[in-house]
Amino acid sequence: MSTNATSVLLRVLRDPAQAQAFGLKDWDLLLRQARRADLLATVSGLLHDAGADESIPVAVRRHFTAHTMVVQANQTAIRWEVAQIYRALDGVSAPPILLKGAAYVFAGLTAAQGRIFNDIDILVPRADIDRVEQALFLAGWSSGHLDAYDQKYYRRWMHELPPLQHMRRGTAVDVHHTILPVTAHLKPDPQKLMAAAITVAVREDFSVRVLAPVDRVLHSATHLFHEGEFDHGLRDLFDLHRLLIEASSQDDFWEALMRRAVEMDLVQPLFYATRYTHRLLHTPIPAHVLQRLQAQSSSRWLGWLMDFCYARMLVSDHVSCRRRFTGLAEYLLFVRSHYLRMPLRLLVPHLLRKALRREPERPDDEALN
Per-residue pLDDT tens digits for 226-242: 987 888 999 999 999 99
Amino acid making up residue 56: I
pLDDT at 367: 37
Please give the backbone phi and psi of residue 80, each rounded to the nearest 5 degrees, phi first.
Answer: -65, -40
Among the listed residues 205, 226, 237, 182, the one whose alpha carbon sits nearest the alpha carbon of residue 338: 226
Q: Are strands 164-166 and 97-99 parallel, antiparallel or unpaired?
A: unpaired
Q: What is the dihedral of CA 44, 49, 50, 55, to 10 degrees?
A: 50
d(Cα 142, Cα 154) in Å, to the nearest integer?
A: 15
Q: Which residues, including other chains, have CB under 8 Å from residue 177's CB and lie 6 or more apart? A: 123, 124, 125, 126, 129, 159, 160, 190
Q: What is the pTM of this model?
A: 0.91
Please give the backbone phi and psi of residue 201, each rounded to the nearest 5 degrees, phi first.
Answer: -75, 125
pLDDT at 142: 92
pLDDT at 353: 82
Cβ proximity of 162 and 151 under 8 Å? yes
d(Cα 65, Cα 31) in Å, to the nearest integer?
A: 12
d(Cα 151, Cα 144) in Å, to the nearest integer?
A: 11
Classify each residue of 170-193 as buried b or exposed e, where b means 16 or more C-beta atoms within 10 Å of its C-beta: ebbbbbbbbbbbebbebebebeeb
d(Cα 20, Cα 184) in Å, to the nearest integer?
A: 46
pLDDT < 70: residue spans in the chain: 1-6, 298, 358-369
- Residue 80: other Cβ atoms inside 10 A: 11
d(Cα 61, Cα 5) in Å, to the nearest integer?
A: 24
pLDDT at 6: 57
pLDDT at 296: 81
